[in-house]
Amino acid sequence: METNEDMGVGTKCVHSGIKDYEFGPVVPPIYQTSTFKFKDADQGARLFKGEEDGFIYTRMRNPTIEAMEDAVAELEGGAKAIGCASGMAAISLIFFTLLQSGNHVICGTSVYGPTTTFLSQILSKFNVEVTFVDTSNIVEVEKAFKTNTRVIFFETPGNPTLSVSNIRQISEIAHSYNASVVVDNTFMSPILQKPFELGADIVVHSMTKFLNGHADVVAGIVVVKRKEDYPIFRKMSNHIGGVIDPFNAFLVHRGLKTLEIRMKKHCENAQQIAEYLEQHPKVERVWYPFLKSHPQYELSLEQTTGGGGVISFEIKGGIEAGKILMNNVKVWQLAVSLGGVESLIQHPASMTHASMPKELREEAGITDGLVRLSVGIETIDDLIWGLEQGLNKI
Ligand code: LCS
């Protein structure tokens, strides 16, 4: 079914990107093929020259992948999207596309550990200068800009501290320097936050998380707001080659159908767990954007329609108490990643953010006592009971 801009988000989740296919299937077929036959030599030449529209080779374009890309682009309100083999493939694609030697990048301090590592240890080899800044502090953001700043990249809320950054204000400053604004929207999904409406130029997701939602795919996506930005990204993706494969694209597209209802349940459960933890005597501090105690609570209400499914908290007794908790919870599984239907618990300083240089980790507020929860869609009473089993052992 054709969708249009005026349709509701539930309709877009179910129908976006799906076209008419041979035999009339209601879901996109998995075109598990590496290459596509040409009718004759002249058609092959025309396709390569771009004189005829069609499929050539799956690294360049594939109908199953394109259906999923169109769906994510539509949900984000962007022009086009490029499916990638992982969130990190999507993030590195953005930097390789937008930057050249001599450029400067600003990156938020609270971002996924390997993103920090990619910028500080890999991009630096190509004579790109990086400044890490707490992007929730607009004064610091403004101070960090230089005449050669080409990109500002941040997550909001940030992984794992849940610090919230003002997309609108950051975009205004960045655009006055002619720099592109890249928002990693993984924690919110387009259901809770629409960065393009607030001024962002590029949106990136680890689709491994909420977009797919079932912890069975590693994938990423780059969404561009403007159609004219698409060809340079597609060209770079084609030459770097870190594309998603048709089967994973199919699974993500399937996951998107329930994105709205999953996000509602993630938010509902996480709000209750955050409030439960906040009043718990063994908990020092809770970070969740929709708690009144969150430093950017007002901005969260303004910029997003829900707090999301991720909570971080500091246990009294630091990492030793955290280990007792993680080793004794029930229902919750001790694993990294987030955004799946199942609830997970992990320790950022020794797990997801262990690759970050220690000083950057501390600057970002990722203390040794911080524990991160990815709240799933299970029954809330069971989730609270499962946490209590661990908390009671401390
Ligand atoms: N962006 C964010 C906000 C992420 O949380 C992650 C992965 C990535 C990008 C990279 O995506 P990937 O390549 O893994 O698809 N975050 C993870 C986490 O917090 N635990 O395990 C992976």
Q: In the annotation, is 184 catalytic?
A: yes
The verdict on 131 and 227 lying in the same domain is: yes
The domain spanning residue 65 has which CATH number? Answer: 3.40.640.10
Q: Distance between CA atoms of 168 and 185, rounded to whole angstroms? A: 14
- Our count of domains for the chain comes to 2
Contact between residue 375 and residue 383 where contact means Cβ atoms under 8 Å apart? yes
Q: Does the residue 1 lie in any domain?
A: no
The verdict on 107 and 213 lying in the same domain is: yes
Q: Report the nearest-CA residue for atom 13 of ligand 1.
A: 87
What pLDDT, on the 0 to 100 scale, is given for residue 122? 94
Closest atom, ligand 1, to C-alpha of 88: 13
DSSP 197-225: GGT-SEEEEETTTTTT-SS----EEEEES
What pLDDT, on the 0 to 100 scale, is given for residue 5? 85
Closest atom, ligand 1, to C-alpha of 111: 3
The verdict on 290 and 154 lying in the same domain is: no
Domain end marker among 233, 256, 279: 256
Q: In the annotation, is 168 catalytic?
A: no
Buried b (16+ CB within 10 A) or exposed e, 8-45: eeeebbbbbbbeeeeeeeeebebbeeeebebeeeeebe
How many beta carbons lie within 10 A of that of residue 279, not counting itself? 8
The verdict on 163 and 48 lying in the same domain is: yes
Q: Does the residue 3 lie in any domain?
A: no
The residues with which 73 forms a beta bridge, in sequence order, are: none
Q: In the annotation, is 42 catalytic?
A: no
The domain spanning residue 280 has which CATH number? Answer: 3.90.1150.10
Q: In the annotation, is 146 catalytic?
A: no
Q: Does the residue 98 lie in any domain?
A: yes
Contact between residue 103 and residue 129 where contact means Cβ atoms under 8 Å apart? yes
Q: Report the nearest-CA residue for atom 20 of ligand 1.
A: 337
Whether the pTM exceeds 0.85: the reply is: yes
Consecutive H or E run containing 182:
strand 180-184
Q: Does the residue 150 lie in any domain?
A: yes
Buried b (16+ CB within 10 A) or exposed e, 243-255: bbbbebbbbbbbb
Domain end marker among 230, 256, 282: 256
Q: Does the residue 187 lie in any domain?
A: yes
Q: Which among 88, 112, 188, 336 is the best mutation to test ligand 1's pocket, defined by most ligand atoms within 8 Å of the CB?
A: 112
The verdict on 283 and 294 lying in the same domain is: yes
Catalytic member of 194, 209, 225, 372: 209
Please list every protein residue whose CB sits less than 6 Å from any atom of ligand 1.
Answer: 86-88, 112, 155, 159, 184, 186, 206, 208, 218, 220, 336-338, 352
Q: Does the residue 2 lie in any domain?
A: no
How many Å lie between the centroid of ligand 1 and the Cα of residue 112? 6
Q: Which two tokens stand for residue 308?
A: 């999301």
The verdict on 251 and 279 lying in the same domain is: no
The verdict on 152 and 292 lying in the same domain is: no
Domain end marker among 227, 256, 285: 256
The verdict on 13 and 103 lying in the same domain is: yes
Per-residue pLDDT of the chain (394 residues; tens, 9 = 90+): 788 888 999 999 999 999 999 999 999 999 999 999 999 999 999 999 999 999 999 999 999 999 999 999 999 999 999 999 999 999 999 999 999 999 999 999 999 999 999 999 999 999 999 999 999 999 999 999 999 999 999 999 999 999 999 999 999 999 999 999 999 999 999 999 999 999 999 999 999 999 999 999 999 999 999 999 999 999 999 999 999 999 999 999 999 999 999 999 999 999 999 999 999 999 999 999 999 999 999 999 999 999 999 999 999 998 899 999 999 999 999 999 999 999 999 999 889 888 888 888 888 888 888 999 999 999 999 999 999 999 999 9
The verdict on 218 and 340 lying in the same domain is: no
Contact between residue 200 and residue 225 where contact means Cβ atoms under 8 Å apart? yes
What pLDDT, on the 0 to 100 scale, is given for residue 325? 95
The verdict on 63 and 86 lying in the same domain is: yes
How many Å lie between the centroid of ligand 1 and the Cα of residue 283? 26
The verdict on 199 and 273 lying in the same domain is: no
What residues make up the domain containing 99? 9-256
Q: Does the residue 4 lie in any domain?
A: no
Q: Does the residue 126 lie in any domain?
A: yes
The verdict on 247 and 274 lying in the same domain is: no
What pLDDT, on the 0 to 100 scale, is given for residue 348? 92
One-letter identity of residue 88: M
CA torsion sign, 30 to 264 to 13 to 237?
negative
Residues 6 or more apart whose Cβ sits within 8 Å of residue 321: 282, 315, 369, 394
